[in-house]
Structure 1
Amino acid sequence: MQYYVDLEWLKEHLGEKEIRIVDCRFKLGSPEEGRRQYQEGHIPGAVYFDLEKDLSGSVGEHGGRHPLPELNLLKEKLQDAGIGSETTVIAYDGIEGAFASRFWWLMKYVGHEKVYILNGGFTGWEKKGYPYNQSIPKFEKTSFTISENKEMLASYQDVRDTALNESGNNVLIDSRESKRYKGIEEPIDRIAGHIPTAINKPWMDGLENGAFKPREEQEKRFAELDRNQPIIVYCGSGITATPNYIALKEAGFKNVKLYAGSYSDWVSYKENPVIRENEL
């Protein structure tokens, strides 16, 4: 139970006072879809956290498409949801795993230890025939203390130093699907390709049916990497890299960081080079 809980565990502990459930469902390109799904039905007692309104900050010239949220605003949202510093929090999304992973990463970043992802998500919960409802819960406001774990975060300069071989020995992992990594297609960002020196480990390869694969499978995915070498994960905007962050930790890697701005931040600087398949 280091990173996730299974559906049966949550069913057994449903309604316990010290547990809060967070619905993170979202659909990129259709930002109201997740809230609509929540209103139509959610795990009893779950509160809704919106990827763009609650788990991301304001978009600027740099920083990527989903910059980290302003932490005092996140703190208020957590307190209003009845999440205190000692609360056990279970996050889920539909079946993707990425949106719940973003919430998990943020909670760890602000110093909260008791946070887990529901393996299988709402889709798995529904398939099991477990209960859900439309009731919007209200909780007494709590106190939440933020303690930033800045070692979880890679700066733009960290990435630049690695990509341009100026210093450092970080491994850059691009978590996007192969076609975007290779620059064959780019549906969102300014230019297709990947950050120089990055290797490709698509995030979805670490999950099956909305559940994280076992530790042994994660170890196989990253078998060629040195567990003692520092690793920086990125994706398009800092969302789908978070499942890879978790998978690496599960596989025993100690020094893993997220480049929160990710590829969308990298290409916001027009002088930064990118690599495409025909240039490899």
Structure 2
Amino acid sequence: MTSQHLITPEDLQKLLASNPASVLVCDCRYDLVDAELGRRAYEASHIPGAVFVDLGRVLSGQKNGSNGRHPLPDQRVFAEQLAGLGVNADTLIVAYDAPGGSYAARLWWLARWVGHSKVVVLDGTIDAWTKAGFELTPTKPAARSRGNFKQGVSLTKSVDLANMRAGLGRADRLIIDGRPGDRFQGLNETLDPKAGHIPGSLSRPSKDNLNADWKLKSPEVLRAEFARLLGDRKPAEVVASCGSGVSACHLLLAMELAGLSGAALYGGSWSEWSAQPDASIELGAAKA
């Protein structure tokens, strides 16, 4: 079923058939090792009408060597990019990616970050679309006229490196790390120069938000699972982190679905934290 944050393939197909101008479908497929894999997959076949939105070029800002692999873009610039894609104030943005990916959730979070509430993720990814019997196409859509979207009041929260340092060890701060468990423990770090996790973090791999069919777990299941992590802490005390601020957005999407609003994103995440010469690091399983 379609919710405030998710849309089913069936409901998306109906929208595209009845009022395609009201929807902007965004293909967010990407690969952290092969940065051009998503674009090649899009050019081969994609959901009809979809535009390609690249993690490195659109959903991230400029790197300076110490601010992480996918730093958050400038809010004003990103809002302008949405308008350039044809987004109006009332346009429904639908983000999708490949099975197991969190890149659609990054677009979902960023759109809300610049004040656009009408944004959803295709539940089950492109895999669910094809399993539902709907077609893919290699044909790129015609460019849309510039939209009227303007940056508005942010609907999400973020924290920076200074805030993370100041909050380290505080009783009212809970860091949840969305990387796979082996990377969290420092056993298999292949993307960043240093291994481990931010001290005091808890591990919640983003894949744990999903069922075997790549669809998000039910709100009730997600709420129960996150409640075990939070204990007596409030969602507003949570900061979601990961490798570079991507799968952490998937954690925040899952928390929203669970009715646990108010958590923040650490956009730089481990790739920024570990790049600091004086960074404190923990290895192994979570201590709490």
**47-56 or 201-210: which moved more?**
201-210
Percent of residue pairs identical: 33
SS at match of 1:116: strand
Q: Is 1:205 the equivalent of 2:208?
A: yes
Report the counterpart of residue 265 of structure 2 in structure 1.
Answer: 258
- Conserved? CA contact 1:161–1:168, under 8 Å: no
Match of 2:71? 67
- C-alpha deviation, 1:213, in angstroms: 0.8
1:234 to 226, 241, 246: 241
Q: C-alpha separation between the residues in 1 aligned to 2:147 and 2:50?
A: 16
- CA–CA separation in structure 2 for the residues paired with 1:272 and 1:150: 30
2:184 to 172, 181, 185: 181
Whole-angstrom distance in 1 between the partners of 2:174 and 2:145: 44
The amino acid across from 2:47 in the alignment is I
Contact 1:228 1:254 in 2 (8 A): no
CA drift of 1:277 comes to 1.5
Q: Is the 8 A contact 2:219 2:258 kept in 1?
A: yes
Give distance in 1, aligned partners of 2:233 and 2:147.
Answer: 39
The aligned counterpart of 1:11 is 13
2:110 aligned with 1:118, yes or no? Answer: no
- RMSD of equivalent CA atoms: 1.8
**SS at 2:159's partner residue?**
coil
User: What amino acid does structure 2 have at the position aligned with 1:84?
Assistant: N
Q: Distance in 1 between matches of 2:84 and 2:46?
A: 19
Figure out how many residues of one structure are paired with residues of the other and give that number: 278
Deviation at residue 128 of structure 1 after TM alignment = 2.2
- Does residue 162 of structure 1 match 2:167? yes
Whether 2:100 is the aligned partner of 1:96: answer yes
Render the CA deviation track for 1:202-253: whole Å, top value 9, x for unaligned. Answer: 1110012221111011012112223625100000000011110111122222
Check whether the contact 2:90–2:118 (CA below 8 A) recurs between aligned residues.
yes
Q: 1:150 to 1:85 in 2, by over 3 A?
A: closer
User: Counterparts of 2:154 and 2:171 in 1: how far apart (Å)?
Assistant: 21
Aligned position for 1:127: 131
Contact 2:4 2:120 in 1 (8 A): yes
| Stretch deviating more after TM superposition (107-116 or 120-129) | 120-129
For 2:202 and 2:233, the matched residues in 1 are separated by: 15
Alignment of 1:19-30 (within 5 A): 19-30=23-34
Q: 1:69 Cα deviation (Å)?
A: 1.7
CA shift, 1:32, in A, is 1.0
**Partner of residue 35, structure 2:** 31
Find the partner of 2:157 among 152, 163, 169.
Answer: 152
**1:52 to 2:56 alignment:** yes
CA distance in 1, matches of 2:261, 2:233: 7
Cα distance in 2, alignment partners of residues 278 and 2 from structure 1: 35
> How far 1:198 moved relative to its partner?
0.6
Instruction: Tell me the distance in 2 between the aligned counterparts of 1:279 and 1:220.
Output: 20
Change over 3 Å in CA distance of 1:109–1:151 after alignment to 2 = closer
Structure 1: state its 5+ residue gaps.
Answer: none
What secondary structure is seen at the aligned counterpart in 2 of 1:222?
helix
Unmatched segments (≥5 aa) in structure 2: none
Pair 231,20 (structure 1): closer, same or farther in 2 beyond 3 Å: same
